[in-house]
A and B are shown apart, each in its own frame.
Chain A
Amino acid sequence: MDAFAPIVHGFATAFEPARILYCLIGVVVGTIVGVLPGLGPAATIALLLPATYRLDPVSAVIMLAGIYYGSQYGGSTTAILVRIPGESSSMVTCYDGYAMTRQGRAGAALGMAALASFAAGTAAVVGLMLVAPLLGRFALAFGPAEYASLMILGLTLVAWLGSASLLKSLAMAVTGLLLATVGQDPVAGVERFTFGTQALLDGIDLVPVFMGLFGVAEVLETMERPPAEQRLPTPTGLWPTRQDFTDSAAPVARGTVLGFLLGVLPGGGATIASIASYVIEKRVAKNRARLGQGAIEGVAGPEAANNAAATGSFIPLLTLGIPANVVMAMMLAALTLHGIRPGPLLVGERPDLFWGVIASMYLGNALLLILNLPLVGLFIQILRTPYPVLAPLILLFCLIGSYSVTGQTAEVATKARLRRGAAGARADPRSPARGVAAPGARDLPGERRRLRDAPDLARPAARRRRVAGGARAQAGPAPGPGLREAPGTLSAAWPGILTRGGKCTPAFLTTLENTRSLRACPCASVKLLHRLP
Chain B
Amino acid sequence: MTRRRLVAALALSLTLAAAGPVPAQEKYPSQPVALIVPFNAGGGTDLVARAFAEALKKEVGQPVTVQNLPGAGSAVGTTKLHGSKPDGYTLGMVGGFLVTTSLRGAAKFPATDLTHLARLSLETFVLAVPAASPYRTRAEYLEASRKAPGSVSIGTAGAGALTHLAAEALSQKTGARLNVVHFAGGAKEIAAVLGGHVNGGVFSQVEVLPHAGAGGGLRVLATFGEQRSEKLPEVPTLKEAGITGVPPGPWQGIAAPRGLPEPVRATLVAAVTKAAQDAEWKAFLAKSGLASHFLTGPALDAFLATEIESLGALLKSVGLVQ
Interface residues of A (CB under 8 A from B): 45-47, 49-50, 53, 139-144, 184-191, 198-199, 201-202, 266-267, 316, 320-324, 329-330, 332-334, 336-337, 339, 341-346, 406-408
Q: How far is the CA of A243 from the CA of B69 in the complex (A)?
A: 50
User: Contact: A198 with B42, CB < 8 Å?
Assistant: no
User: Contact: A341 with B206, CB < 8 Å?
Assistant: yes
Most buried by A among B40, B164, B287: B40
Query: Is B123 located at the chain interface by the 8 A CB criterion?
Result: no
Residues of A within 8 A of B195 (CB): 140-143
Query: Is B182 located at the chain interface by the 8 A CB criterion?
Result: yes
Residues of B within 8 A of A202 (CB): 71-73
Beta-carbon contacts of B38-59 to A below 8 Å, as 1s and 0s? 0011110011001000000000
Q: How far is the CA of A61 from the CA of B68 in the complex (A)?
A: 22
Beta-carbon contacts of B68-84 to A below 8 Å, as 1s and 0s? 11111101100100000
Task: Identify which of residues 172-212 in chain B touch chain A, using a CB-to-CB cut-off of 8 Å.
Answer: 182, 184, 187-188, 190-192, 194-195, 197, 206, 209-211
Q: How far is the CA of A476 from the CA of B289 in the complex (A)?
A: 71
User: Contact: B42 with A333, CB < 8 Å?
Assistant: yes
User: Contact: A337 with B47, CB < 8 Å?
Assistant: yes
Query: Is B106 located at the chain interface by the 8 A CB criterion?
Result: yes
Q: How far is the CA of A321 from the CA of B191 in the complex (A)?
A: 9
Closest to A324 in B: B187
Q: How far is the CA of A296 from the CA of B71 in the complex (A)?
A: 40
Query: Is B29 located at the chain interface by the 8 A CB criterion?
Result: no
Q: A202-B72, A336-B288, A344-B217 are in contact. Are A189 and B210 (CB under 8 A)?
A: no
Query: Is B158 located at the chain interface by the 8 A CB criterion?
Result: yes
Residues of B within 8 A of A190 (CB): 320
User: Contact: A187 with B159, CB < 8 Å?
Assistant: yes
Residues of B within 8 A of A343 (CB): 209-211, 216
Closest chain-B Cβ to A205's Cβ sits at a distance in Å of 11
Residues of B within 8 A of A344 (CB): 210-211, 215-217
User: Contact: B191 with A406, CB < 8 Å?
Assistant: no
Q: How far is the CA of A324 from the CA of B191 in the complex (A)?
A: 10
Residues of A within 8 A of B250 (CB): none
Closest chain-B Cβ to A203's Cβ sits at a distance in Å of 10
Residues of B within 8 A of A324 (CB): 187
For the side of the interface on B, what is the size category?
35 or more
Closest chain-B Cβ to A262's Cβ sits at a distance in Å of 15
Query: Is B245 located at the chain interface by the 8 A CB criterion?
Result: no
Closest to B193 in A: A140
Residues of A within 8 A of B159 (CB): 184-189
Q: A189-B320, A408-B76 are in contact. Are A322 and B187 (CB under 8 A)?
A: yes
User: Contact: A184 with B191, CB < 8 Å?
Assistant: no
Q: How far is the CA of A440 from the CA of B66 in the complex (A)?
A: 54
User: Contact: B211 with A46, CB < 8 Å?
Assistant: no
User: Contact: A198 with B194, CB < 8 Å?
Assistant: no
Q: A186-B159, A336-B288, A344-B210 are in contact. Are A322 and B190 (CB under 8 A)?
A: yes
User: Contact: B287 with A339, CB < 8 Å?
Assistant: yes
Closest to B158 in A: A186
Interface residues of B (CB under 8 A from A): 40-43, 46-47, 50, 66, 68-73, 75-76, 79, 106, 158-160, 164, 182, 184, 187-188, 190-192, 194-195, 197, 206, 209-211, 213, 215-217, 287-289, 320
Closest chain-A Cβ to B20's Cβ sits at a distance in Å of 30
Residues of B within 8 A of A141 (CB): 195
Q: A143-B192, A345-B210 are in contact. Are A198 and B187 (CB under 8 A)?
A: no
User: Contact: A267 with B188, CB < 8 Å?
Assistant: yes
Q: From the candidates A47, A140, A188, name the one contacting B194 in the complex (CB within 8 A).
A: A140
Q: How far is the CA of A333 from the CA of B213 in the complex (A)?
A: 22
Closest chain-B Cβ to A24's Cβ sits at a distance in Å of 23
Q: A187-B159, A334-B42 are in contact. Are A406 and B71 (CB under 8 A)?
A: yes
Q: How far is the CA of A341 from the CA of B192 in the complex (A)?
A: 19
Closest to A189 in B: B159
Closest chain-B Cβ to A17's Cβ sits at a distance in Å of 28
Residues of B within 8 A of A189 (CB): 158-160, 164, 182, 320
User: Contact: B210 with A342, CB < 8 Å?
Assistant: yes
User: Contact: B191 with A322, CB < 8 Å?
Assistant: yes
Residues of A within 8 A of B187 (CB): 266, 322-324, 329
Closest to A144 in B: B197
Chosen A-B contacts, 14 in total, with CB atoms closer than 8 Å, are A50-B66, A186-B184, A189-B164, A190-B320, A198-B72, A199-B71, A267-B184, A320-B191, A324-B187, A332-B42, A341-B289, A343-B209, A343-B210, A344-B210
Residues of B within 8 A of A49 (CB): 41-42
Most buried by A among B75, B158, B195: B195
Closest chain-B Cβ to A149's Cβ sits at a distance in Å of 14
Q: How far is the CA of A143 from the CA of B184 in the complex (A)?
A: 14
User: Contact: A329 with B206, CB < 8 Å?
Assistant: no
Q: A320-B194, A321-B211, A333-B47 are in contact. Are A406 and B42 (CB under 8 A)?
A: no
Closest chain-A Cβ to B230's Cβ sits at a distance in Å of 15
Residues of B within 8 A of A321 (CB): 210-211
User: Contact: B216 with A201, CB < 8 Å?
Assistant: no
Q: How far is the CA of A255 from the CA of B210 in the complex (A)?
A: 33
User: Contact: B41 with A46, CB < 8 Å?
Assistant: yes
Q: A143-B197, A202-B71, A341-B206 are in contact. Are A266 and B42 (CB under 8 A)?
A: no
Q: From the candidates A184, A185, A198, name the one contacting B76 in the complex (CB within 8 A).
A: A198
Residues of A within 8 A of B73 (CB): 184, 201-202
Q: From the candidates B40, B47, B75, B206, name the one contacting A201 in the complex (CB within 8 A).
A: B75
User: Contact: A339 with B288, CB < 8 Å?
Assistant: yes
Closest chain-A Cβ to B28's Cβ sits at a distance in Å of 26
Closest chain-B Cβ to A58's Cβ sits at a distance in Å of 17
Q: How far is the CA of A186 from the CA of B182 in the complex (A)?
A: 7
Residues of A within 8 A of B76 (CB): 198, 408
Closest chain-B Cβ to A68's Cβ sits at a distance in Å of 13
Closest chain-B Cβ to A409's Cβ sits at a distance in Å of 12
Q: From the candidates A46, A144, A267, name the one contacting B42 in the complex (CB within 8 A).
A: A46
Residues of B within 8 A of A187 (CB): 159, 182
Closest to A183 in B: B72
Residues of A within 8 A of B158 (CB): 186, 189
User: Contact: B191 with A46, CB < 8 Å?
Assistant: no
Residues of A within 8 A of B42 (CB): 45-46, 49, 329-330, 332-334
User: Contact: A333 with B191, CB < 8 Å?
Assistant: no
Residues of B within 8 A of A332 (CB): 42
Closest chain-A Cβ to B239's Cβ sits at a distance in Å of 26
Residues of A within 8 A of B68 (CB): 46
Closest chain-A Cβ to B19's Cβ sits at a distance in Å of 33
Most buried by B among A190, A316, A321: A321
Q: How far is the CA of A351 from the CA of B100 in the complex (A)?
A: 42
Residues of A within 8 A of B79 (CB): 198
